[in-house]
Structures are given as C-alpha cells and as structure tokens.
Amino acid sequence: MKGEILHVAILNRKVYITTRLLLRKTPAGFFILAMAVAVFLFPARSARARTIHVPADSATIQAGLDGALAGDTVLVADGVYTGEGNKNLDFLGKTVVLTSEHGPEVTIIDCQGSGRGFYFHTFENSYAKVEGFGIIGGHGSPGGGIYLTGSSSPTISRCIITANEAWPTGGGIYCGNSSPIISNCNISGNTANSSDEVAAWGGGIYISERSNPLIVNCIIFGNRVRFFPPGDGSALGGGVYCDGSAEFINCNIYGNFSTSDAGGIYCQYAASTFTNCIVWENQGTEIEALEGSPVVEYSAIQGDWPGEGNIDEDPRLRDPHLDNFHLMAVDCGDPFDSPCIDAGDPNIFDDSLDCWHGLGTSRSDMGAYGGANAGWPTAVEGENSEAEFVPKDFALFQNYPNPFNSETVLRFRLAGHEFVNIIIYNILGQQLKVLVEEYRPTGKHSVAWDASGFPSGIYFARLEAGEHSQTVKMVLLR
C-alpha cells in the first residue's frame, strides 16, 4: 500500500499525520477507496477519566470543555443553552467526549442568530466527539451550524442540525480541510445565502477540496441555497456541495432547493462516492457534476444516474415531509413494499431487521434506516421491533453496534458444518487479529471482538467458511 503524506503536525506533545491512500486491492480481498485517513499517535490521556456535568459542575458547555482533560466526558443536562459559553464551542484540540443526557430533542444549543454551534480548527481527531445535541439558530460566514477546518476530524453523531444560516457556504455544516465522521444526524432546514458576485454553495453541507468526511445514516432534508436576486448568480448544491472526496453511505438527500439548479448534490472536481442512498424530490437536477462524476451505486436516484445497482423508482417513504423517512413495507401494514428494501449493496446487511430500523432480509436497504448503523434512535417504534431474522443460507451480518466503542458483536450463519476463519484487518489490509479458527456446526453463531486496544478508525471483518467468504466494514469510535 502506497500513500502520500499530506500533513504532519505536532501539537501539545501529540503527533498527527494525514495521508491520502491510493486505490489498491488488499490481501483481504476488498478495495480501498481514495480517502484521507487521520492517524493519531501517542494520545496523552488523563490517568483517570472524569465526567464533568453541565450545569452542575460547570456553568456553561465551554467551561466544561475548558476544564476537561483528554479522555474526559462532558455530560450536558436537558435544556436550551444560549449566550456566551454555549455557542462557538471549541474543543481546543482535546480528545474529549461531549454528550447530552437525553438526546437532541431536549438538549439544544440555540445560537440566536449570531455565531455557530461548534468550531473545530485544532487538529481534533475522532476521539473528539459530539453526540446528541440540537443545533439551531446559527449564523456564520461560512458555516452556519458547525464549522470545521484546520485538519480537524472529530466525530459528530445523533445531532439535529436545523434552521442555521451561512453566507455564502455551508448552511448546516462547513467542512474545510477536515475529515469528520458524521453519523445518524438530521441536517434539515438550513440555508446558504449570497448576493453580489459571490456564489452560494451547500445549503446542508459544504465540503471543500482537501476534505474527506465519512457521512453515514444521515438525513439531509429541506435545505436551501439561494442567490439574491434569484437567477442572477450561482447557487449550487441545496443539499450537498462537494469539492472534496466525501463518502456517503445510507443517506437520504431529499427535498432540497436551489435558486439556480442542482438542488440535491453538486460535485465539482470531486471523487466522492454515494452508496445505498436515496436522492429524491430535490429542486432541479438531483445530481450535477463538473469535471468527473461522483461514483453512485445501489442508490435510488430520481431521473436515474449511471452506476451498479441504481434504481429510478419512487422509494415509497412513509411521510418525509413530517420527518418520517422509514421505508413502507407490507409487514408494517402498508399495501406495497418500497423498492429500496433488499436493494442496497449486497455486501452490507441491516443491523436491525424490523419495521422501523431496516427491513432487509438478505442485503441492506437503501436510505438512512437501512444497512450498517440502521438502528439509530427514532421517535417511531413499531410492534415488530423485536422480530427475529432467520437467514436461509451462509451470511456474515453487519456487526452490532456500529459504530462501536471498544466491543462489538459479529453474527454469522452457516449452511453446513464448516471450518471457519474470522479475521480482523485494518484499512491497509493488514491482519490484526484472528477471532475464530475452528469448526462450527450448521446454524447461527456470534462472536465478540474486544477492540479496546485499537485506535478509532475503519476496520474490516472477513469470514471464510468452505467455499464462502464475506467482508463487512466496521467503524470504531472512542
């Protein structure tokens, strides 16, 4: 495996190296996509991790972050947080987890039209994590809700990023020279505006060149990019504007708007990939590309788009305009199944096989509630949420949970008595651990992987049994 070193930095006695990997086939038998990987070496962690409560221990969220050491958790109680110390939140390069007690619906950062929710700019890596916040009322130039730059690569999960505004780019999130992991987020109702001769780009998310985010199981809905007066200037990518090499997996990009065109996705000089996504009912073109089209596979694209496994059929979402992006299914009382069920990447399986968190029985579904990570929190729960899935043949299912912290479980099915190998590889294709190396009988099995000694990142588990083999991708987050 060859790689080009892009950047080396030393900060607070920590070493950060960023490399760009080239496309190569690994010994494990899968391909590595061109992407940037932030490698964090020698993290200085506190001797004993603490939990800092806001507002009980620290009056503001920023005060909690300021008092935290590497490895600490800042836990925020329910409430609406406003004013100085509760916006423009800065991790200052620390590997800290900032999380809410009860989720984004009841823990809200309201910027009140001035400033952003978060500002990442100091080489933060995936150990720096934001989880479970509502971020509203942000106003930045650029980046309305969250602004990332300075080779930062934090993890942002289970957040609702809505009603933020930017001039002129990145209404919800601005990724400039950054590679965050964004998972299980709802990015909706954000706006990027411009006037005069400056273009407006990326109502939901703006991704600059030198940025390589991984965006998984996200809903990007009802965002706008506007130029004043309409029709006089460039306004591109109502949902997503890509000038970097982003990877989107199981995302809904739906109902976004542009005063020019390209209401859904606009890619400029970008090597981005979209897998298991639903791109539908965006104003104008769903996807538009300048200089090199994105790679789109196993996705539902209105008006069609070239790529393996793509379909141009109504995805039959339950009620997207009321924020319900689950797929319709006969098992849930609907008259017809969505064509997105069992139509995703055949190498990815749904984590939760029920009406509300993924419905596939042999391969992943398209959209935010299908595939790996399908079981993210939702306000709607069905009677069949505990339904058991019984596969009919050989299969390695997606690990659960995914992403995971320290330990995850791999489930697999054997059609006969076979000698089984399950091996863990890193993103370079290097073998890290043999989990199973023995005969197993016909039927269902599971095995746990304790990854407490491994850094955050992307890993692969490969199952070999007789003539069969299968690989799943896993995301380890600290």
Is 104 in the same domain as 252? yes
157 domain residue, yes or no: yes
Q: Are residues 28 and 72 in the same domain?
A: no
Q: Do 35 and 125 fall into the same domain? A: no
319 is a domain residue: no
Domain ends where: 275, 301, 327?
301
pLDDT digits (tens, 9 = 90+) for 327-348: 999 888 888 899 999 999 998 8
Q: Phi and psi (nearest 5°) for 322? A: -110, 25
Length of the chain: 478
Alpha-carbon gap, residue 350 to 368, rounded angstroms: 11
**Do the domain assignments include residue 325?**
no
Of 286, 301, 316, the residue that ends a domain is 301
Q: What is the CATH number of the domain that holds 422?
A: 2.60.40.1930
Residue 350 belongs to a domain: no
Chain segment 79-101, per-residue pLDDT in tens = 999 999 999 999 999 999 999 99
Say whether pLDDT at 231 is over 70: no
Angle made by CA atoms 108, 112, 113, in degrees to the nearest 5: 130
- Are residue 29 and residue 57 in the same domain, yes or no? no
C-alpha to C-alpha distance for 84 and 63, rounded to whole angstroms: 10
Q: Are residues 21 and 115 in the same domain?
A: no
| 168 C-beta neighbours (distance < 10 Å), count | 24
- Residue 341 in any domain: the answer is no
Q: Which of 114-128, 285-299, 360-374 has the highest mean pLDDT?
A: 114-128
Do the domain assignments include residue 446? yes
83 and 195, same domain (yes or no) = yes
Based on the structure, what is the number of domains in the chain?
A: 3
Same domain, 441 and 477: yes
User: What are the respective helix, strand and coil percentages of the chain, to the nearest 5?
Assistant: 5, 40, 55
Q: Which range has the worst mean pLDDT, 105-119, 202-216, 338-352?
A: 338-352
Specify whether 253 is located in the same domain as 127. Answer: yes
**Domain-embedded: residue 357:** no
Statement: the pTM of the whole predicted model exceeds 0.85: no
Does 65 lie in the same domain as 154? Answer: yes
The enclosing domain of 289 has a CATH number of 2.160.20
Residue 415 maps to a domain: yes
The domain of 430 spans 393-478
- Same domain? For 37 and 105 the reply is no
225 and 126 in a single domain? The answer is yes
Q: Predicted confidence band at 379 (pLDDT cuts at 50, 70, 90)?
A: very low
DSSP labels, 153-213: --EEES-EEES-EESSB-SSEEESSB--EEES-EEES-EEEEETT--EE-SSEEE-TT---
Could you tell me the CA-to-CA distances from 445 to 397, 411, 420, 440 in Å, in that order?
Answer: 10, 6, 11, 8
Does 199 lie in the same domain as 115? yes
With bands split at pLDDT 50, 70 and 90, how would you rate the model's confidence at 116? very high
